[in-house]
Amino acid sequence: MEGINIWNMYNIYRKKIIILFIACLGLNSSFGQGKNNQFYDYGRWIHFGFTVGTNFSGLSYDFSNTWYNQKIIHGVSIDDVPGITIGAVSDLHMGEFFHLRFIPSLILTQRNVHYNTTGDTVAAKQVESAIVEFPLLLKFCSERHNNIAFYVIGGGKFGWDLSSDYKAVKNPINPKIALIPQNYSYEFGAGLDMYYPLFKFSPEIKISRGLNNVLFNDKTIYTNIFSRFRSNFIFISFYFEG
């Protein structure tokens, strides 16, 4: 059995995401009407920028055989807490419509794991992460109309959780859930390039799906009921490039 929270998170925040993109379109309509601005980056083979945004993190999981043989925990749920994403952008131009992007980023996030135990009590464990990620992405853009271009983007990335303490001495009275630091994942998304005279502003949404098992099983009841964890994210990002 697997609990995948990434799509539930999308459904929860879907209206906010739509409103966000409509607001960005309105902003561009107010300040970028008329003919296309000159391509400030045309003829250049590389440009740089930065990104800031928020993220919503979930964990997909499979239960182990221990789950079916124990009677202490009756249910599990995982809540996400909005996190922060900041990063630097390097964009290599591969013709007019393709770009190769390298975006090293710092991601601060938290997940709350709730265990429904015997006696209708709930035990909660926080899983906090400070992840350094190194995405390598391919971006395909449409033609620009009225200073707006739509694009799709996708690729892979490697991440390292700086806050992972899976090797630390465990507290048997209050055990924590620890994740191993290495994380491999793929991601895909879409966005809008909005061109202004001196810079480009791009709102973007991406979905990231983990590939490897990040669960560290320390043999407590809180971890040995699972056979694996995978990290999933929804990213809402704002890019400023010049």
Q: Quick: pLDDT tens for 95-142.
A: 889 999 999 999 999 999 988 887 777 788 888 899 999 999 999 999
- Contact partners, residue 131, CB within 8 Å, separation at least 6: 106, 107, 108, 109, 159, 160, 161, 162, 183
Closest among 135, 127, 124, 89 to 108, alpha carbons compared: 127
pLDDT one-digit tens code per residue, 11-24: 555 455 555 555 55
CA distances from 18 to 10, 15, 33, 115, 241 (A): 11, 5, 22, 33, 23
Number of domains in the chain: 1
Give the CATH number, domain containing residue 35: 2.40.160.20
The distance in angstroms from the start CA to the end CA of the chain is 47
Q: How many CA atoms lie within 13 A of 225 on its CB side?
A: 19
pLDDT one-digit tens code per residue, 50-108: 999 999 998 889 998 888 888 888 888 888 789 999 999 999 999 889 999 999 999 99
DSSP-assigned letter for residue 37: P
- Confidence band (pLDDT; 50, 70, 90) for 4? very low
Q: What is the pLDDT of residue 16?
A: 52
Answer left, alpha or beta for residue 219, where phi above 0 means left and psi between -120 and 50 means alpha.
left
User: Which residues constitute the domain of residue 106?
Assistant: 2-241
Measured distance CA(127)–CA(111) in Å, rounded: 5
Measured distance CA(106)–CA(185) in Å, rounded: 15
Residue 206 DSSP SS3? strand
Q: What is the pLDDT of residue 92?
A: 94
In the chain, the percentage of residues whose pLDDT exceeds 90 is 44
Per-residue tokens: 48: 């740089």
Which one has a higher pLDDT value, 240 or 1? 240
Q: What is the mean pLDDT of residues 219-229?
A: 88
Q: What is the pLDDT of residue 2?
A: 40
Q: How far is CA 19 from the centre of its chain?
A: 19
| Per-residue pLDDT at 33 exceeds 80 | no
Task: Provide φ and ψ at 69, rounded to 5°.
Answer: -105, 0
Q: What is the pLDDT of residue 39?
A: 55
- pTM passes above 0.75: yes
CB contact at 8 A, 147 and 196: yes
Q: What is the DSSP string of 123-176?
A: EEEEEEEEEEEEEEEEEEE---BTTEEEEEEEEEEEEEETT--TTSPP-SSS--
Instruction: For the chain, give the mean pLDDT.
Output: 83
Answer left, alpha or beta for residue 114, where phi above 0 means left and psi between -120 and 50 means alpha.
beta
Instruction: Please count the helices (runs of H) and the strands (runs of E) in the chain.
Output: 2, 10
- Contact partners, residue 57, CB within 8 Å, separation at least 6: 80, 81, 83, 109, 110, 111, 129, 231, 232, 233
